[in-house]
Structures are given as structure tokens and as C-alpha cells.
A and B are shown apart, each in its own frame.
Chain A
Amino acid sequence: MIDEQRLKLLTEGAKYDVSCSSSGSKRKNTGGMGNGYAAGCCHSFTPDGRCISLLKILMSNDCVYNCKYCPNRLDADVPRVSATPEEVAELTIDFYKRNYIEGLFLSSAVEKSPNYTMEKLVRTVKLLRTQYRFHGYIHLKGIPRADEALIHEAAKYADRMSYNIELPSERSLKLLAPQKSKESLLLPMKKLAEDRAVFREEKRKGLFLPAGQTTQMIIGASPEKDSQIVRLTQSLYRSMGLKRVYYSSYVPVVHDSLLPDLPAGQLREHRLYQADWLLRFYGFTAEEIAPENENLPLDLDPKCAWALRNMQLFPVEVNHAPLELLLRVPGIGGRSAQKILQARKYTNLTFEHLQKMRVVLKRARHFITANGKFYGAKSETAVRGYLTAGENSENSRQLSLFSDTETALSALTGEL
């Protein structure tokens, strides 16, 4: 059994990794313990509002790399500890059995060498799958510059793998993470995506990354604009087939002349997640959401900002507008849009109906008519005023407390 002190250090080293999602895998129980839960499942929530779905720990925090932003970098003065594959497997099984967790998210500092580290990760996941007959969720971090064969082996046992892009441009990566390179991160991602496609096409036995790949980048440690980040995100979804791109706003745990002293705003991170949602679920393109060389506005959510740039499209009549257009109305999300589509089959919807159906009209009223009636502001300037006024009070609250349920999507990551 692992001791509390090492568990503490190995957890603290892993906790800045945002991804905690346990969705996307339907792995079956074929004897032994565990299965996949395709929708994902949150087991607890910590006071920072994030969900605990997976046991998220490092195999080791003893790193030979010296990435400037990382609390575990070679130069850092922190106690160095490691766990064995046996310890991690046992911990996973005993937590899982008690329903504390949905599975394991195993990452590691580069201990000794990339291959040494990756081998340890692979050994752990194999131990869990074969010896313990564990069929719960496993997310493995890919170690850059580890052998292709090792990575391929890992993918046969894991549900999901991820390489963290870390920074949104090659230049920043060179500057802040000199031992990693664009190629060392992107090439294995590409290879895994291809291997997965081949595996599926040939209908081979077993599973190969049923929940796909994700990545993460740090926001605000380097100078890239949001427009660049959103475009990069879009191309990762399109060309790499990633399931999720996570953002982590920079927290200065390390002082370095190359790094900003101030943390990047949580609000900026939040806006990027909103943009990410628009890309994945609302049919928007990066070009629509984020004009070239600009940051996303902080005082408006990206859908409102887009709508204000495209006022000629509004208002739309809720009784006739197609789903694609309803989804573009500020304040109307997937669930509301569905409810509207269903209910309007039976009656001509009025604002009273929408209210009863709990469609949030605070923003939407400026962009829709219901049964011909319009209750929004008359001029574009007034609309902008209403939208930013509401946002400002929300944001000031959010900035001081970070406690607004509605505006904090990041904790939903366990579910989506």
C-alpha cells in the first residue's frame, strides 16, 4: 500500500492537468472488476469546483526535463518521489472497488529517460488489465520521445491517451519547454490517430483507444492571441480527430524572467472553453468566433459577440427557425433548442410558453420573435448595453469568487 506522503506529492504534481473526463468508453466487464460508462461519471467535487472522476496521479515527479513553467522541472527544489506499477494498480483497484473513482489517469515526469518512463506506465496498465482483470477507465499520458512500439502497446490497453501540446505555438514551446518539440508532441498524436483508424477499419479484436485522444495547452504563459488558440483547436479537432482540447490558465508556481508574474485570468480560460463548446456542439467555425489577431472579448461571451457582429440575421422566429439557427441564438443551448423543436410541433409558441419551458430569455429575447412578438431592445447599441451590463456584474462576481455555477463549464469536463 502506497504511503500518504507519496500519494500527496504525486497527486499535487498531477493536479494541474485539467482533463478528468471518463466518457467515451463502453468497455465491457468480462469477469473481474469494472466497466466503461460512456456518458462519464463524476464521483466527487473538490472545493475548487472541479470534479473527481479519475484517480489522477503521477508515476513519478522526478524529472530530467526543465520546462520553465513546471513545478516538477529539473531545477526545482521539491522532494522527489516515485510509485511502482504495483502500488498504482493496487491503489486503483481499492479506490475503484469502493466507488471512489471511475478509473485511473496516469501521467509522469520524465524519470531517467522517456522510454524508461513510458515502460513503467505501460507495465502499470498491463498489470491492471491482465492480472487484476480491471475494465474501468484508464487515461494514459503519452511521454514525448518514447519509442513508437511502446506507445502502440499502451494504446492497446488504455481507453484514452493524451499528449499535451503545452503551448499554443512552436516558438513558445522552444522558449519555455526546450526539450520538447512540436514534432515530439504532434507526430505521436498523428500516429496514434492513424493506428486507431487502421484498427477500426480492419475490425481487429480487442480495443484500441476507444475514447480517443485529448490534449491540453497552457493559456497566458506565452503571447499567443485567442484567435490563434481557437484556430489551433479547430485544426486539432479536424485533422487529429481529438475528442477534447483542454485549456489551463497559467498559474505562476515558478518564477522565471521568461514567464509572466501574474496568473492568466480564469475568465479568459472560461471564454476559450465557451468557444470550444461553440466549435464542438453549435456548428460554429473558428473564423466566425474569433476574428484574426484578436482575443475573445471578456465582457461578452463569444456567442453574444458573434451575434452582435451579425445582427442582420436576427431576430429569428422560434416557431420556424431551423435547429442550426436556434443554436446560434445567445442564451439558447442544446437542451432549450431541442425543447423548442419538440413543443412547436403542437402549438405556436409564445414567450409565455418559452418561460414555462425554462428557456432562458435574458439574452435570447433580443434575438428572437415568438409568434411574431419581439421583446428585445430596439437598437444594436441598446442590445450591446443589456448584454454587457448583465455580463459585467456576473464577471465581477466570478472574478472575485469564481463561484458562479452557470458560468463555470470547466467542472463539467467529467461529464462531457
Chain B
Amino acid sequence: MIYLTDGTKECFLTAFLYAFSDENALISSSQTQLALGQESVFVAADAAKAKKTEARLLSFDKDCMNDLFYLLRSGRNDREQIAFRYLKLLTEKKMPVREMAEDASIAANECIRKVTYEIHRMHGFVRFLESASGALYAPLSPDNDIVDLLTPHFRARLPEFPFVLHDVKRKKAAVYDGKNSFLAPLESAEIVLSADEQRWQSLWQRYYQSVNIPQRERLKQMKGYMPVRYWKHMPEFHATDPLST
């Protein structure tokens, strides 16, 4: 049986309760992944059931909801299944399984690490555009659903600047209005740039070109650290510059 969830934690924990005693259970929030011939059922989130499951899981490992939080943020289609196998192992062992050399633990750890690593990367790779009002706007398309998890970092360092982190892939935005931060759906945004924005971008492009040492080219390494899929929102890669050599 495939248990289909709406992607939320509550729905996942409800599905977990049903799937737990089912030998061939799969949990998924993605309908595109359905295997042919396998039966599926939509699970409705049930607060009471979810709470019960959560309490039971927490009794074995007080940190496991933190793991689940990041697992459900993953952009992988099989994230619910990875979480299911990991938490199922937890209920079998009745103690934290995070560090065990078990397939389910290793898969969960790797999945969590991809999410937290992308958060760290995005702290560096986000590029703000300055709007005419002084507010900052950054379009991004991360692999994982993390846009609101970036807010605390930027809020701490730019407390006096309202900003919008726009996940253009998932069509939503993490907004900080100068006082509060919140998540909102956002299809597309029309930004009126500040008078100097273009010139600062040009200076940045000039800097980027000048700081490189062409005799030491290592493109493979560069792309390893900063995968090409992230480049499209970074002005250093938009340059078409007559002065460049």
C-alpha cells in the first residue's frame, strides 16, 4: 500500500501510524512516483494520531523530530520514504539510531546533510538586488524547500533592511518587513531597481573577473563547490563585458 500525504509533518505522522504495521508500505507526498499496480490511499492529517506517534517516537529519541523536520524539507521525491524507514528503525531499536551503520540511518543522515549543507551554501550564494525603496530582493531556486530557513541568518546581519527571499521554483517567498518575518505565496515579482544597482553589479562583475588567476584554471573544482544550477541568479555570471580579456 502507498500512503499519500499532503507533505506536512502532521499528515506524515498520521500515515506513519497506518504504514507501520504494513510490511510493504510506502509513504509519499508525490503522485508522480507511483509504481504501477500498487494500491494507494490518501491520508488525511489527524492531529490526535500525529501527536500520539510523535510522543512515541520522542520517547525513543528526543531529537528525532529535528531529523524529521529536515528530512521533510528535502527536495527528493522519496523524502517521506527515507523518513519512514529511519523512524521505523527507531521504533524497532527503541533507542537513537542516528549513528548506526544501518542503511536507513545512513540514508537519512545523507538526506539531512544535503538539506543543511544547502542552507549553508545559500547563506553565501544568495544575491540581493536593491530596489528603489531600499528593500532587498533575492530570487533563488534551491533544491530543497529551505527558503524560510534562510531568514534568521539574513535578519541577524541586515536588521535594518526589509528583504524578500523568493523561491521562484516553489513560488513562495520568505519576507522580512523590518520587524517581522513570514512566509507567503509569490508567483512572480516586479522589482524597480535602485538608481545605482546596475553600477554596483558591474563593479562586482569587474571584481569577479579581476580576482581570478587564469593560469590556474580549475573549472571542475569550481563547479564542485558551486554547482552550475545555482549560477542563474548570480550577477557575476551575467556579465557580457567589453573590457574583459
Residue ranges of A at the interface with B (Cβ–Cβ < 8 Å): 1-2, 4, 7-8, 11-12, 14-16, 29, 31-35, 37, 39, 41-53, 55-56, 91, 94-95, 97-100, 102, 135-136, 251, 263, 266, 339, 342-343, 345-347, 349, 353, 356-357, 401-405, 408, 411
Contact = CB atoms under 8 A, between A and B. Distances in A.
A266 B215 CA distance: 11
B60 interface: no
- Greatest chain B CB density within 10 A among A41, A44, A95 is at A44
Contacts of B206: 4, 7-8, 11
Contacts of A342: 99
B157 A29 contact: yes
B182 interface: no
Given A15-B211, A33-B160, A41 B124 contact: yes
Give the top 9 A-B pairs by smallest Cβ distance, nearest first.
A49-B218, A403-B220, A342-B99, A49-B221, A11-B210, A46-B212, A343-B101, A405-B224, A353-B101
B124 A42 contact: yes
Contact of B204 (A8, A95, A347, A403): A95
B128 interface: yes
B156 interface: yes
13 contacts: A39-B120, A43-B124, A43-B125, A46-B212, A49-B219, A49-B221, A94-B196, A98-B127, A99-B138, A356-B103, A403-B220, A404-B221, A405-B221
A347 B101 contact: yes
Interface of B: 99-101, 103, 106, 120, 123-130, 136, 138, 154, 156-161, 196, 199-200, 202-204, 206-222, 224-226, 234, 236, 243
A52 B208 contact: yes
Given A15-B213, A99-B124, 17 more contacts: A2-B203, A4-B203, A7-B207, A8-B209, A33-B161, A41-B123, A44-B124, A45-B222, A46-B222, A48-B212, A48-B217, A343-B99, A401-B217, A401-B218, A402-B217, A402-B218, A402-B221
Contact of B225 (A15, A51, A266): A51
Given A15-B210, A94-B200, A346-B100, A408 B124 contact: no
Contacts of B158: 33-34, 97
Nearest to A136: B157
A232 to B, nearest CB: 24
Contacts of B209: 8
Contacts of A135: 157
